[in-house]
Amino acid sequence: MWTASQVLRRFSTSPHHYQNKLKLAIIGQSLFGQEVYSNLRKQGHRVVGVFTVPDKDGKADPLAVAAEKDGTPVFKFPRWRVKGKPIPEVVEAYKAVGAELNVMPFCSQFIPMNIINNPKHGSIIYHPSILPLHRGASAINWTLIHGDKKAGFTVFWADDGLDTGPILLQRECAVQPNDTVDTLYNRFLFPEGINAMVESVQLIADGKAPQIPQAEEGASYEGIQKKSNAKVDLAQPAEAIHNWIRGHDKVPGAWTADTPGKFLNDLKILSTLEIEGASRPGLVTKKGLVLHGTDGKLLVKSLQFEDGKMIPASKYFSSGEGASVELTDNEKRVAEEIRNIWKGILSNVPTINDNTDFFKSGAASMDVVRLVEEVKQKCAGMQLQNEDVYMYTTFQDFIQMFVRKLRGDDQKEELVIDYVKVNSMTVKMPYQCFINGKFEDAESGKTYDTINPTDGSVICKVSYASVGDVDRAVAAAKEAYEIGPWGKMNPRDRGSLLYKLADLMEEHQEELATIESIDSGAVYTLALKTHVGMSIQTFRYFAGWCDKVQGKTIPINQARPNRNLTFTKKEPLGVCAIVIPWNYPLMMLAWKSAACLAAGNTLVLKPAQVTPLTALKFAELSVNAGIPKGVINILPGSGGMVGQRLSDHPDIRKLGFTGSTPIGKQIMKSCALSNLKKVSLELGGKSPLIIFSDCDMDKAVRMGMSSVYFNKGENCIAAGRLFVEESIHDEFISRVVEEIKKMKIGDPLDRSTDHGPQNHRAHLDKLLEYCDVGVKEGATLVYGGRQVDRPGFFMEPTVFTDVEDHMFIAKEESFGPVMVVSKFKDGDVDGVLQRANDTEYGLASGVFTRDINKAMYVSEQLEAGTVFVNTYNKTDVASPFGGFKQSGFGKDLGEDALMEYLKTKAVTVEY
């Protein structure tokens, strides 16, 4: 009935769906091209061919990836013409698809006119400018450089000039004072451009598309800016300097109109910077670099060096940020005294010069202690650690570090957090992206509402991360792993930081549990004990593993007359991505990230879009625990954007995901196509629970209910189907219904509540539809199946009986408080096992019986990663957790989880 109704619904609407639709050729590339392609297909247009660029480094363009997945013909021509003439075989291949219109959403290749004009309706192309202004590839840059008050885009009919043909459609938006190319693109040009391309195609299909000739008046033909002529002229007004910078730079500074007196009073000047062409030196402040124009000042927030590295302008004179500290006369005197200390320790080295390396010169661990103590004795009150010597091994680097400490430049920055306050206990929640140790708005400035499922109210607006935010977070994690202290840290010290983090989580457990309750709907007592409590246990467990990761020696055949020693080392993978679900927001974070960090990796984590708040609070606590910047990065946002970019990113070496099986398959494919990154997947389930007549009935009823209704049924290992032996079936159901009636449904923050709201509206609607299907298929609805008559997303605990093996609810996971019960004949052990295993899922399972032989036999035969005997939901941080078949692979928790985040290196030494 389910399938038939769906087919009937599609059939009845199909005639209207295909009215006025075209056969299209998509010529272009990039995510923009992919989105235009996908949306045109959704509108019913037929894409007969996709023409895009060849694979780069073995990776297909996003447009090609989407088209290949759909089975659309894809052509990857490196060029369309040679020496100005079209390539015949390319033209022939194009004409063979029979397109009625060419759609060019983002096209970087020159397309010959016999291709442009070939279709019945010609070709349309997207251009990021309100034509005729600012033509060419740098159009949007010139919009900013010229200080235009309006930006926008044009969809026009392509001609031999490619941007001089008639206009079909235009859209415009206001340019904000601090807009950049990226903010304009993310806010308007990308999303509205996609909509406009789809609208334009439909206008053509309906015969309503205009062709408005472009005027020559006001046309700008300025070419692409090159590095050689992009130098800023500081002898002009501050606004002009600002426009020039933001038009050339992806992450520019921001122009300010503050009055000179107030402006400087608000900033602590850290140093001055001589700049060629400037009438006055720049002022390096805690807010950035202040430059002087001819009529005022502007504030530059970011600087980029010749090697491409970009830093906050306020950090120009800080450690490793592009410039060495210039020593005062007194500091030079102290540096010479330290040089003498080095001489005393490194007595075998004739001269201590700037490049002398402490360890390469023969120093050992006791020499490190001696150096630190002698320097501290020389400079009373100096806070110097042994780790500082290991981090700064040459004399020059050591002196630079020492002077910065002496000046106080290395003081830990105060974490700036914008808080949202809710509830009577004044819960404080960060709500911005957490990148490189700081909370900051998304690059696009976008936010979204996170909803309290208890009443449907908005808790707060949360930053909506973009692809650019992912790239910045990954870059920060990579730097933290390769250059920062995390990668050089002793494992025991790393463990100490994780222990401290667990202590802070425990200190803030009531706050975390409250956030978890209002964001996910979890009953407070369960959130406190399980969501938060097990998270704390997980971090403590893996903190203890940090200094216990070991390899082994392996006897191999000797290469006589020489001998060999072969041993293995366990090493971290590098930057890892973690994508977690919404049912246990904090606990799923802990299960994956604790093992990841204990192994020595850095991470970028995407919480579920509907439950981001405990992850962001966790980020705050990680800073307070002393976790170095860049080690942990948290990006709230959509799976389609953030999750996909994490899957595709070439610098990520492992992705851990918990979620649905279809999304897991897509992630696995993307990870393979990108860089063959390691993957672990914990996916869907339909876990069977078999209850035999010789069970402890009281326990079977209690644990059977827990197996379904624990955490409102939003539980990956929930018993998706109960098989109850025929002789006890009716008694079991009667007692379950009796207990359900005693359950208190209500506000999850009420300590006496048993059953809280479902996580979000869409999930509640899905559960109600799931129950409707069960009734239509003929299952008996014994109890529930409805939304509770109160505000919020509450669903009644539900019981179905007489469920047959072919039914939808017997095969598919509800992920909610729906008990699905089937009978089996008394004594038919093998028969019920066959039915229990007749699923593509294999996450968990359970059996209730007093017969130990039967229990052992059933546990051996059940095809699941976890088998519970006379209990359910009993997970522990030391026990591995993960599924078989389409429930995924890889393990969370236990030593097995640690191995998911390590790689094995074999070393053979001949001696």
Q: What is the pLDDT of residues 189-205, one digit of tens each?
A: 988 999 999 999 999 99
Buried b (16+ CB within 10 A) or exposed e, 521-537: bbbbbbbbebbbbbbbb
Mean pLDDT across the stretch 823-852? 97
Q: Is 580 annotated as a binding residue?
A: yes
Mean pLDDT across the stretch 324-332? 78
Name the band, by pLDDT with cuts 50, 70 and 90, for residue 187: confident
Active-site pick, 107, 576, 695, 716? 716
Mean pLDDT across the stretch 694-700? 97
Residue 321: pLDDT above 50?
no
Active-site pick, 35, 100, 682, 863? 682
Residue 652: pLDDT above 80?
yes
Percent composition of the chain: helix, strand, coil (DSSP 3-state, to 5): 40, 20, 40
Residue 906: pLDDT above 70?
yes
Mean pLDDT across the stretch 439-457? 94
Q: Is 659 annotated as a binding residue?
A: yes
Q: What 8-state DSSP symbol labels residue 281?
A: -
pLDDT of residue 892: 97
Mean pLDDT across the stretch 261-280? 53
Query: Per residue in 706-725, pLDDT tens?
Result: 999 999 999 999 999 999 99
Query: Per residue in 683-693, pLDDT tens?
Result: 999 999 999 99
Domains and CATH numbers, the chain: 23-206 (3.40.50.170), 248-315 (3.10.25.10), 329-407 (1.10.1200.10), 430-682 (3.40.605.10), 687-886 (3.40.309.10)
- N residues, the chain: 911
CA–CA separation, 372 vs 385, rounded Å? Answer: 7
Residue 264: pLDDT above 50?
no
Active-site pick, 45, 127, 531, 755? 127
SS3 303: strand
Is 682 in the active site? yes
pLDDT of residue 256: 44
pLDDT of residue 389: 86
415: its two tokens: 């974490």
CA distance readout (Å), 886 to 341, 661, 683:
63, 7, 7
Q: Is 109 annotated as a binding residue?
A: yes
Q: Is 518 annotated as a binding residue?
A: no
Residue 347: pLDDT above 80?
yes
Name the band, by pLDDT with cuts 50, 70 and 90, for residue 230: low
Highest average pLDDT, of 100-114, 219-233, 563-577, comes from 563-577
pLDDT of residue 227: 56
Task: Report the range of poorest mean pLDDT among 72-86, 125-139, 542-556.
Answer: 125-139
Q: Is 643 annotated as a binding residue?
A: yes
Mean pLDDT across the stretch 774-794? 97
Task: Report the range of poorest mean pLDDT among 277-281, 359-363, 431-435, 594-598.
Answer: 277-281
Q: Is 607 annotated as a binding residue?
A: yes
Of 704 and 308, the structure prediction assigns the larger pLDDT to: 704
CB 375 within 8 A of CB 382: yes
CB 705 within 8 A of CB 711: no
Name the band, by pLDDT with cuts 50, 70 and 90, for residue 282: confident
Amino acid in position 388: D
Q: How many CB atoms lie within 10 A of CB 250?
A: 13
Mean pLDDT across the stretch 883-900? 97
pLDDT of residue 59: 75
Of 695 and 164, the structure prediction assigns the larger pLDDT to: 695
Q: Is 639 annotated as a binding residue?
A: yes
Q: Is 640 annotated as a binding residue?
A: yes
CA–CA separation, 40 vs 105, rounded Å? Answer: 11
Q: Is 416 annotated as a binding residue?
A: no
CB 772 within 8 A of CB 818: no
The residue to which tokens 């501050």 are assigned: 238
Name the band, by pLDDT with cuts 50, 70 and 90, for residue 265: very low
pLDDT of residue 261: 30
CA–CA separation, 785 vs 776, rounded Å? Answer: 13
Q: Is 19 annotated as a binding residue?
A: no
pLDDT of residue 17: 39
pLDDT of residue 222: 61
Residue among 498, 507, 490 nearest 540 (CA): 498
Q: Judging by beta carbons within 10 Å of its beta carbon (0-12, 13-18, 19+), is residue 506 exposed, middle or buried?
A: middle
CA–CA separation, 729 vs 585, rounded Å? Answer: 36
Highest average pLDDT, of 30-39, 209-218, 292-301, 740-749, comes from 740-749
Q: Is 111 annotated as a binding residue?
A: yes
CA–CA separation, 634 vs 469, rounded Å? Answer: 10
Angle in degrees, 0-180, between the axes of helices 585-598 and 509-520, rounded to the nearest 10: 130
Outline where 521-610 has alpha helix (H): 524-526, 533-543, 585-598
Q: Is 217 annotated as a binding residue?
A: no
Mean confidence (pLDDT) of the chain: 88
Q: The dihedral of CA 613, 614, 615, 619: what is its sign?
A: positive
CA–CA separation, 449 vs 365, rounded Å? Answer: 53
Q: Judging by beta carbons within 10 Å of its beta carbon (0-12, 13-18, 19+), is residue 108 exposed, middle or buried?
A: exposed
pLDDT of residue 364: 84
CA–CA separation, 172 vs 151, rounded Å? Answer: 6
Residue 338: pLDDT above 50?
yes
400 contacts: CB under 8 Å, gap ≥ 6 = 319, 324, 325, 392
313 contacts: CB under 8 Å, gap ≥ 6 = 253, 284, 288, 289, 300, 301, 302, 303
Mean pLDDT across the stretch 247-261? 46
Name the band, by pLDDT with cuts 50, 70 and 90, for residue 253: very low
688 contacts: CB under 8 Å, gap ≥ 6 = 719, 720, 721, 722, 723, 835, 836, 837, 839, 845, 846, 862, 864
pLDDT of residue 9: 29
Q: Is 714 annotated as a binding residue?
A: no
Of 315 and 238, the structure prediction assigns the larger pLDDT to: 238
Of 69 and 299, the structure prediction assigns the larger pLDDT to: 69
Of 2 and 882, the structure prediction assigns the larger pLDDT to: 882
Query: Per residue in 490-523, pLDDT tens?
Result: 999 999 999 999 999 999 999 999 999 999 999 9
pLDDT of residue 11: 30
Give percent above pLDDT 90 in the chain: 66
Mean pLDDT across the stretch 540-553? 97
Residue 620: pLDDT above 50?
yes
Cross-strand pairs, 819:
799
Is 716 in the active site? yes
CA–CA separation, 581 vs 588, rounded Å? Answer: 7
Query: Per residue in 48-100, pLDDT tens?
Result: 999 999 988 677 888 999 999 899 999 999 998 888 899 999 999 999 999 99
pLDDT of residue 138: 75
Name the band, by pLDDT with cuts 50, 70 and 90, for residue 2: very low
Mean pLDDT across the stretch 622-628? 95
Q: Is 814 annotated as a binding residue?
A: yes
pLDDT of residue 420: 74
